[in-house]
């Protein structure tokens, strides 16, 4: 019986800690103002519109091509779905926050890309 009580207590502490960390991350993201214009060296620009729940995005690549679609957050990740794409075509990027005007994206096609806020 004590063992079950101990497991329940550990579970409750873990749940409260996870919830608190999630709320802190949401507050940091709100303070960062994730939607907006972000630029990387070499002429790469990423424009995220909407709110923290997601919205449309536009990406101008260094070669001059433009990709549009929808973005959303899922845990620690930023998911980009190109126009006409499905969930299987979504690009999953680990989102890293560096201060109030810089973010990093890391995934299969982007290795440690740093973006600075524009404007």
How do residues 13-53 score in pLDDT, each as one tens digit? 777 767 766 666 666 666 567 899 999 988 899 999 998 88
Domain count for the chain, please give it.
Answer: 2
> CA 48 → CA 2, 6, 34, 55, 71, distances in Å?
51, 45, 7, 7, 7
Is residue 75 domain-shared with residue 23, that is, in the same domain? no
Can you give the residue range of the structural domain that contains 44? 33-118
State whether 6 and 57 are in the same domain: no
pLDDT digits (tens, 9 = 90+) for 74-109: 888 999 999 988 878 899 999 998 877 899 999 998
**Are residues 27 and 39 part of one domain?**
no
Q: Is the pLDDT of residue 115 over 90?
A: yes
C-alpha separations of 73 from 17, 59, 65, 116 in Å? 20, 17, 24, 19
SS3 for 119?
coil
**pLDDT number for residue 93:** 95
Whole-number pLDDT of residue 94: 95
Same domain? For 68 and 26 the reply is no
* Model confidence band, residue 11 (pLDDT cutoffs 50, 70, 90): confident
- CATH number of the CATH domain containing 93: 2.40.128.50
Provide the pLDDT for residue 60. 94
27 shares its domain with 53? no
Same domain, 113 and 92: yes
State the pLDDT at residue 18.
Answer: 72
Q: Identify whether residues 74 and 105 lie together within a single domain.
A: yes
What is the phi/psi pair of residue 43, to 5°?
A: 85, 10
Q: Same domain for 92 and 67?
A: yes
């Amino acid at each position: 019986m004590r063992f079950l009580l101990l497991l329940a207590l550990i579970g409750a502490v873990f749940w409260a800690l996870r919830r608190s960390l999630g709320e802190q991350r949401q507050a940091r993201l709100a303070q960062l103002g994730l939607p907006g214009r972000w630029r990387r060296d070499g002429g790469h620009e990423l424009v995220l519109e909407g709110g923290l729940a997601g919205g449309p995005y536009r990406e101008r690549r260094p070669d001059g091509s433009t990709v549009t679609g929808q973005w959303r957050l899922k845990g620690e990740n930023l998911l980009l779905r190109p126009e006409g794409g499905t969930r299987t075509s979504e690009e999953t990027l680990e989102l890293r926050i560096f201060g109030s005007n810089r973010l990093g994206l890391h995934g299969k096609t982007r290795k440690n890309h740093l973006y600075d806020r524009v404007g």
